[in-house]
Structure 1
Amino acid sequence: MKKILLPFFVLCYLLVSCQEAEVAPRPNILFIMSDDHSQRAIHAYGQGLLDKVYFPNMERLAREGALFKRSFVTNSICAPSRAVLLTGKYSHLNGKVDNVLPFNWDQLTYPKLLQEAGYATALIGKIHLAGKPQGYDYSLTLPGQGSYYNPDFIKNGEEKVSFEGHCEALIPEFVVDWLEKDWDKTKPFAINYHTKAPHRNWMAEEKYLDYLEDEEFAFPDNFFDDYAGRGTAAREQEMEIVDNMYWGWDMKFEANPFTGEPSRLAAPFGRMTEEQMAAWNAVYGPKNEAFLQEKPTGEALAKFKYHRYLRDYLKVIKSVDDGIGKVLDYLEANHLLDNTIVVYTSDQGFYLGEHGWYDKRFMYEQSLSTPLLVRYPREINPGTVVEDMVVNVDHAPTLLDYAGVEKPAEMQGESWRALAAGEDVPWRDAMYYHYYEYPGPHSVKRHYGVRTDRYKLIHFYHDIDEWELYDLEADPNEMNSVYGDPNYAEVQEALHSRLEELREQYGDSDALNQQFIEQSLSKN
């Protein structure tokens, strides 16, 4: 009897197990992308800037999930980075190489594939890609860069709607509202939750106007960089905090305090209500008056500009962190959080005074690197740290992998799912980068390059032909190119070979470069 019943019970157990596996819920996906967020502005990355500043919800993601230390972008500028995210393809193949040329929404994107696979999809916040978003059941997006105060949004790519309040308080409310009221709960959800902050011009929410105003920050060691160790591109950029920031847009003055002339680009105070403007003036007015009385020069002027910039930048991140907390709290209260893959990243990094700069664009570390925090307790152990190099071209394949959707052949990235789970899997030994927007804002030359674990080779082209090589172990701040140094001859030769291999692998070429140069120049 026992010999007959045992196989029967085993069969029943296997059938039940298979049924349970079949009905196990697919994970929800919450992909959070901010704009221009430096790794140095997250305490968990441990880079020394923010000993006094702590963003608890971002730190929670790092503590309860995985932190990717070497998270990079393929093209450090807003719209192209977002196109890479959606398509899983490099800029030269998805067509969005800069902020000028159009993005083709008709091409394959990962939200379209998730939608076809039965996910309820939503895009809420900034996308910075003109045209009607495709692949989403619902979209509520900022037009272009959007506004911090009393912003306009475009609903489902067609209807303009306006709201009173601060952008970073509104966007998480819209995410929660969609989950509460519009999400088809018979399906898993996939949300692109994209913030405006901390993109320039850093206008803080009212409750954070005086946040950090009494805190002092040391200059980065290379703030007063003279660019002697690099070539033409570093010297001819126009992204220096002291020399290139606008008195209105960036420093929040109504006119140039030294000449009295109206600012070249004024802050958009006209969008603010009288109450909002009064709150603003209560904090900034006395400080601006004190500056007008003193009119500091030299290092004192640099210190003022650096602190005005950095404090404003961190203030808007504080609101981003609040928004993340609001959405996480909603998911947790509704028993959704642990079956939701939560990804936090930015479209690229940003300079916080390194080399004396703000903005991004260069292949140097601060703009090449971007935060990447991932929480998914079903697969990712708390406190996981990933040292492997991942690139934003990998995000689309990864999200498809989690959803059980096969990656299409045209996507060029690889899924980092196994890395997040702590598995030892074969992975890339180098990453490829290409920046195109020149001539353009901030005058950063066109360049492409390769980064390995230790070295970086960059080629600046178009109106110059210059190479730079950095030993990131010996020179982590990238102050002195060793290109042409006989001590690095073998490394240099190997990197040239690796660069050409990557260009061939990803389908990039000089012919494509020339094509995009001609298209961009025709638009300017």
Structure 2
Amino acid sequence: MIRFRLLSLLLLLSIGSWAQQNQSAPKPLPRLAGTARPNAAQPRNVIFILSDDHRYDFMSFMKPAIAPWLQTPNLDRIRREGAHCPKAFVTTALCSPSRASILTGLFSHQHTVVDNVAPEPPTLTYFPQYLQQAGYQTAFLGKWHMGDEDDRPRKGFNHWVSFRGQGVYYNPVLNVDGKRVEHRDSAYIADVLTDYALNFLNRRDKDKPFFMYLSHKSVHHQFQPSRADRNRFAQSPIQYPASFYQTDPRNQNPETKESGVPHWVRRQRYSWHGVDYLYHGSTTFDSFVRDYCETLRSMDTSIGRVLKYLDDNGLAENTLVIYMGDNGFMFGEHGLIDKRTAYEESMRVPFLVRCPALIKAGITVAQMIQNVDVAPTILELAGLQKAPQMVGRSIMPLLQGQSVPDWRDKIFYEYYWEYDFPHTPTVHAVRTDRYKYVRYHGIWDSNEFFDLEKDPQEMNNLIKDPQHQTTIKEMANQIYDWLESTGGMEIPLKRTVKPRFGDHENKNTY
């Protein structure tokens, strides 16, 4: 009896210790039994390809005004053989928040990954977890970039290949299923990731559907193309956007001179993210654009290898391929580079979809879509209903040319001030097909209002125009209604360590 009581006591102590260690662990993912879509077809294979900082119009079929000589033959092929969503937007034009919205189907203030160093909450559920439950084999390959420098394997993926932080273009060190693997001999990151992707496709279980998330480093600064594309566009002329000189105090042209541009935008012209001192003068604007285009061409070539694999292995007809960028990028518009703002070039992204068995060639989707729609769309392809917490919607009906009368008529945008890049304030915006209203928080400056139909380049701020005051008031209220209804009235603060002023080398101070 004494021995039995002793064993019972030890067992209770062990259970208590385990419970104490795991009391903050996230709850298990709920099973999806009973959530299959009615009359769902056989689950489809899905390849989701994400690029970094690729703006919506920088594909050769779009004939970008800044670089009309750009060549992206494989992205052009996806568009030609599938669907193009020219009005695709992100909820936040920044790497980590956008990636979290793609994976969770939530707005940034909901998943709280509000910047590039904010830790990801352990309670988040990523849509590949649902795919795993439905019998999919899943793989992640490339840039994760949530949780700062952490590249450890994440939940939802059977196979994992990633790197720390932004990574490098040449000779990367990768985390392959928890093990460090070095690549040398001028190994190029887009080529290396594609090698891993094709290896996964070769070794997969042919009796199970697959989901592959190929997340390229390209085209993030510092731009570096493959050796094959280096100097490909070295002599190509750059066409500056109309608003390039808008904030230049030397500009005397009334057609391109500033019209209600906020002071913080004007001051940013000569800064890290301004055209007169971009990245602290480390490159010229023309070289900057050419390097970007050459790096983009290198990634396009790697995408072509994936398409060829599908062709050669009988997978092209029934595999859904989605290509998009995590945010846009500005090339001189309003005197700025980079992203973060609510201007079109920043918040708008390329979005292409191809699956000949489901989508007719040449489809153009007229409606506005967002990155929060990715997860519900892929879940539908798996024969599953979207998870109840997701705020996005499946775009499959739109891709198939169906009428969706209750589709959204506006999209919302948010960006939260960052310690490391303090020159861009907190931003909230709402955009319809006709108008855009942008509200700045934490700064004493002018808000912005644009008539996108008459002023697609957003050069004439109508915030003080008497004719638009009713619309401006309505759109301002729409932002607050959106935030109130989705739990966004409090700015998500994160516990992060910052250096003391003037002591940027010591990262262990508060």
Q: Give me the TM-score of the superposition, normalised by structure 1.
A: 0.81
Pick from 85, 90, 110 the counterpart of residue 73 of structure 1: 90
Counterpart secondary structure, 1:434 = strand
Alignment partner, residue 56 of structure 1: 73
The superposition leaves residues 494-522 of structure 1 with CA deviations (integer Å, 9 ceiling, x where unpaired) of 2123222322332211xx12x52x75697
Alignment check: 8 A CA contact 1:45 1:69 kept:
no
2:233 partner amino acid = L
Amino acid at match of 2:475: L
Distance 1:342 1:489 in 2: 44
Unpaired runs of 5+ residues, structure 2, are 1-37, 248-257, 500-509
The 2-side partners of 1:414 and 1:466 are apart by 34
State the SS of the aligned residue for 2:436: strand
Measure the CA separation in 1 of the matches of 2:176 and 2:74: 28
2:10 corresponds to: none
In 1, the alpha carbon distance for the partners of 2:438 and 2:369 equals 19
Q: Which amino acid aligns with 2:363?
A: T
1:159 aligns with 2:179: yes
1:202/1:312 contact within 8 Å kept = yes
In the alignment, structure 1 residue 170 sits paired with structure 2 residue 192: yes
The aligned counterpart of 1:307 is: 286
Query: Deviation per CA, 1:148-189, whole angstroms, max 9, x where unpaired?
Result: 010111122x322111211111111110011112x1222111
Equivalent residue in structure 2 for 1:422, among 383, 398, 401: 401
Deviations 1:284-315 (A, max 9, x none): xxxxxxxxxxxxxxxxxxxxx12110110011
Deviation of 1:121 (Å): 0.2
The residue matched to 1:193 in structure 2 has which SS?
A: strand
Deviation at residue 48 of structure 1 after TM alignment: 2.9
Q: Are residue 150 (structure 1) and residue 129 (structure 2) matched?
A: no
Task: Tell me which amino acid in the other structure corresponds to 1:470.
Answer: F
2:376 is equivalent to residue 376 of structure 1:
no
Question: What is the aligned partner in structure 2 of residue 124 from structure 1?
Answer: 141
Match for residue 351 of structure 1 among 318, 330, 338: 330
Residue 9 of structure 1 corresponds to none
Measure the CA separation in 1 of the matches of 2:383 and 2:236.
47
1:29 to 46, 70, 73: 46
Find out whether 1:231 has 2:291 as its counterpart: no
Which residue does 1:217 correspond to in 2?
A: 238
Mean Cα deviation higher: 375-384 or 234-243? 234-243
The CA distance in 2 between the partners of 1:342 and 1:465, in whole Å, is: 43
Q: Is the 8 A contact 1:73 1:348 kept in 2?
A: yes
Which residue, 137, 149, 160 being the options, matches 2:158? 137
**Counterparts of 1:212 and 1:100, CA distance in 2:** 34
Which residue does the alignment assign to 1:391?
370
What secondary structure is seen at the aligned counterpart in 1 of 2:444?
Answer: coil
- What are the residue-to-residue correspondences of 1:244-255 with 2, within 5 Å? 244-248=278-282, 251=283
Letter in 2 for 1:329: K
Amino acid at match of 1:168: A
CA shift in 2, pair 1:439/1:465, >3 Å = farther
1:326-365 aligned at under 5 Å gives the runs 326-365=305-344
In structure 1, distance between residues paired with 2:474 and 2:137: 47
Question: Does 1:323 pair with 2:302?
Answer: yes
Query: 1:489 Cα deviation (Å)?
Result: 1.6
The within-5 A match list for 1:279-318 is 305-318=284-297
- Which segment is superposed worse, 99-108 or 411-420? 99-108
Structure 2 CA distance for aligned equivalents of residues 148 and 245 of structure 1: 18
Secondary structure of 2:338 counterpart: coil
Out of 445, 468, 472, the position equivalent to 2:448 is: 468
> Alpha-carbon deviation of 1:22?
9.4
Change (3 A) 1:468 1:24: closer
Residue among 468, 485, 488 paired with 2:465: 485
Per the alignment, residue 104 of structure 1 pairs with 121
Compute the displacement of 1:229 (Å): 2.2
User: Distance between the aligned counterparts of 1:381 and 1:361, measured in 2?
Assistant: 34
Amino acid of the residue matched to residue 222 of structure 2?
Answer: N
Displacement of 1:466: 4.1
- State the AA in 1 paired with 2:240: F
TM-superposed CA distance for 1:444, in Å, is 0.9
Q: Give the secondary structure class of the aligned counterpart of 1:30.
A: strand
Q: Deviation at 1:47?
A: 4.1
Counterpart position of 2:32: none
470, 475, 491: which is aligned to 1:495? 475
Aligned to 2:100: 83
Q: Given residue 79 of structure 1, which amino acid in structure 2 is its aligned partner?
A: S
The 3 A distance-change label for structure 1 pair 442 and 52 is: farther
2: distance between equivalents of 1:321 and 1:135? 27
Deviation at 1:51, TM superposition (A): 2.8
CA distance in 1, matches of 2:66, 2:409: 29
| TM-score, normalisation: structure 2 | 0.83
Does the CA contact (< 8 Å) of 1:172 and 1:323 recur in 2? yes
- Look up the SS of the partner of 1:123 in the other structure: strand
Q: Structure 1 residues 373, 105: CA separation in 2 closer, same or farther (over 3 Å shift)?
A: farther
- Specify whether residues 490 and 106 from structure 1 end up closer, same or farther in structure 2 by C-alpha distance, changes over 3 A only: closer
Secondary structure at 1:338 match in 2:
coil
Contact 1:241-1:358 within 8 A present in 2 as well: yes
Unaligned runs of 5+ in 1: 1-20, 252-304
SS in 2 for 1:493: helix
SS in 1 for 2:180: strand
Cα deviations across residues 209-245 of structure 1 (Å, max 9, x unaligned)?
1210111122112212215522133123341132132
Write the distance in 1 (CA, Å) between the matches of 2:40 and 2:377. 22
Following superposition, the deviation at residue 62 of structure 1 comes to: 0.6
Letter in 2 for 1:394: D
Q: Distance in 2 between matches of 1:384 and 1:321?
A: 21
Work out whether residues 91 and 97 of structure 1, in 8 Å CA contact, stay in contact via their aligned partners in 2: yes
The alignment yields a C-alpha RMSD, in angstroms, of 2.0
- How far apart in 1 are the matches of 2:259 and 2:105? 37
Amino acid aligned to 1:194:
S
Instruction: Please state how far the C-alpha of 1:467 moved relative to its aligned partner.
Output: 2.1
The code of the aligned residue for 2:456 comes to: P
Matched letter for residue 89 of structure 1: L
Compare 396-405 and 226-235 and name the one that shifted more: 226-235
Q: Which runs of 4+ in 1 moved over 4 A?
A: 21-25, 518-524
Is residue 477 of structure 2 the alignment partner of residue 443 of structure 1? no
1:459 match: secondary structure: strand
Could you tell which deviates more after superposition, 90-99 or 494-503? 494-503
Q: Residues 260-279 of structure 1 correspond to what in structure 2 (within 5 A)?
A: none
Deviates more, 1:475-484 or 1:464-473: 464-473
How many Å apart are 1:356 and its aligned residue? 2.7
Question: For 1:442 and 1:351, how far apart are their aligned partners in 2?
Answer: 18
Determine whether 1:433 maps to 2:413. yes
> Does residue 201 of the first structure (1) align with residue 222 of the second (2)?
yes
Q: Deviations over 1:429-458 (max 9, x none)?
A: 111111013333262111111111111111
